[in-house]
Structure 1
Amino acid sequence: MAKLLYITANPKGPEKSKGLKIGEAFLESFLEERPETIVRRIDLFDFDMAWMDAELVSARGKLAGYGYTMEQLEEGERAKIKKMHSLTDEFIQYDYYVFVTPLWNLSSPAVLKNFLDNLFVSGKTFVYTPNGPKGLLNGKTAIHIQTRGGIYSGTPMEELETGDRYLRIALRFLGIHLEDSVIIEGFDVFPKKWPEMIADGQSRARSAAKKMAASTIEV
């Protein structure tokens, strides 16, 4: 039975967030195609996870580069690295990943970056090889649904957008197959067209959901 992790990073909630309205359309359409799918929702603004502070950075370094065992870590370090590993262990149990985020100040909300930081665990999601790092999450598929206030595509601003670009780089590094992102932009440029833009985004999201649901995965 397939499992889907639906990850959102918007504090407004589905009633006020344009992106979350579009994300819900994606999820609804996906479940119409794959009704047996187990879905887990994560709101990153209401999600308990480890943060990359001094203790966690120290714990990672000791385990990865200095030959420490888990038992040799300080109590605070051990608690935080275990929390990180717990998140990673859950993440790798899923087959599909849906990320729904806004573009804030050229990138994604900081909670998404921190969530991704928790996934970079050597031996679990990637390994080092003589030819460089290799992702271990093969056979899994992800998609990003992103809303933007400005217009970036095909403009000089395009190269400054780092939200969608970084997410795709990070997931590709881990070995995850990426579907084309669903990008809806210009909400601040055309405020009177929000209803039409949301409807268009929902239509595109539903099409993307049907495509992803039809993809073959190893369960």
Structure 2
Amino acid sequence: MSKLLYITVNPKNDIKLSKGMQIGEVFLEEFKKQQPDVEIDHMHLYDMDIPEIDMDMLYARAKLSFMGKTFDELSEAEQTQIKNMHALADRFIDADYYVFVTPIWNLGSPAILKSFLDNLFIVNKTFTNTAEGPKGLLTNRKAIHIQTRGGIYSTGPMVDFEFGDRFLRKALGFLGFELMDTVFAEGMDHFPKQIPEIMAKAKAQAVEAAKEMAKETVTA
């Protein structure tokens, strides 16, 4: 049985209020048609306690990576942070397909997504260092980003100012993922009267993307 990790990044934990989640739901419905036995694991980041790189986390990672300390030599607070980080990373790793649903805020994704991703960069677990440079270990996994945008970032003067999708794709690529083309709905703040058309187009793209992702069975 395959597993799909569905990651939503919006304080609006209500599909009626989130256009991104509406598009994401269309994707999930089509994917389940293509792979009826798929297991869906939903992470809504705003409902989770995401470990942050605070002082305890910073020193714990330093002690383990280059200061020659063992886990048992860490303080209780440091051990807790490392345990929480690895638990989150383990849950993330235990999937075959990944769907990220985010808005773009002030040129990038919500900050909680960066905090989440910080827990996934663990040397010799999700990537390793080689003589040729870093190498991602999370291979044979497919990921897609569904993003909603108030402005226009695909063309025109704002192209170089879109850092949400760009960063996520770079981060996942670094870890070894196979990335599909991003599904985005943009211009909804600029053209509110066109929202139904914009959403319909994005939902149609989500359906096709779900069919494409489900085409080949992957085993992580």
Per the TM superposition, whether the score is higher than 0.5 is yes
- Residue type of the alignment partner of 1:9: V
Instruction: Please give the secondary structure, in 2, of the residue aligned with 1:23.
Output: helix
Who is 2:216 aligned against? 215
Mapping 1:140-151, distance limit 5 Å: 140-151=141-152
The superposition leaves residues 162-181 of structure 1 with CA deviations (integer Å, 9 ceiling, x where unpaired) of: 00000000000000110111
Who is 2:29 aligned against? 28
Q: CA deviation at 1:215?
A: 2.6
Q: CA deviation at 1:119?
A: 0.3
The superposition leaves residues 7-36 of structure 1 with CA deviations (integer Å, 9 ceiling, x where unpaired) of: 000112211111110010001100010010
Who is 1:11 aligned against? 11
- Residue type of the alignment partner of 1:20: M
- Residue type of the alignment partner of 1:197: I
Q: Which sections of structure 1, spanning at least 5 residues, go unmatched? A: none
The normalised TM-score by structure 1 is 0.97
Q: Which sections of structure 2, spanning at least 5 residues, go unmatched? A: none
Who is 1:76 aligned against? 77
Q: How many residues align?
A: 219
Instruction: Please give the secondary structure, in 2, of the residue aligned with 1:209.
Output: helix
Who is 1:85 aligned against? 86
Q: CA deviation at 1:49?
A: 2.1
Q: CA deviation at 1:151?
A: 0.3
- Residue type of the alignment partner of 1:166: F
Instruction: Please give the secondary structure, in 1, of the residue aligned with 2:147.
Output: strand
Give the CA RMSD over aligned residues. 0.9
Who is 1:202 aligned against? 203
Mapped partners of 1:216, 1:156: distance in 2: 40
Who is 2:95 aligned against? 94
Q: CA deviation at 1:110?
A: 0.7
Q: CA deviation at 1:161?
A: 0.6
Who is 1:42 aligned against? 43
Mapped partners of 1:93, 1:152: distance in 2: 33
Which consecutive segments of 4 or more residues in structure 1 shift more than 3 A? none
Who is 2:118 aligned against? 117
Q: Which moved more, 1:125-134 or 1:100-109?
A: 125-134
Percent identical across equivalent pairs? 54
Mapped partners of 2:66, 2:156: distance in 1: 43
Mapped partners of 1:6, 1:83: distance in 2: 20
Mapped partners of 1:84, 1:57: distance in 2: 12
Instruction: Please give the secondary structure, in 2, of the residue aligned with 1:156.
Output: helix
Mapped partners of 2:166, 2:133: distance in 1: 21
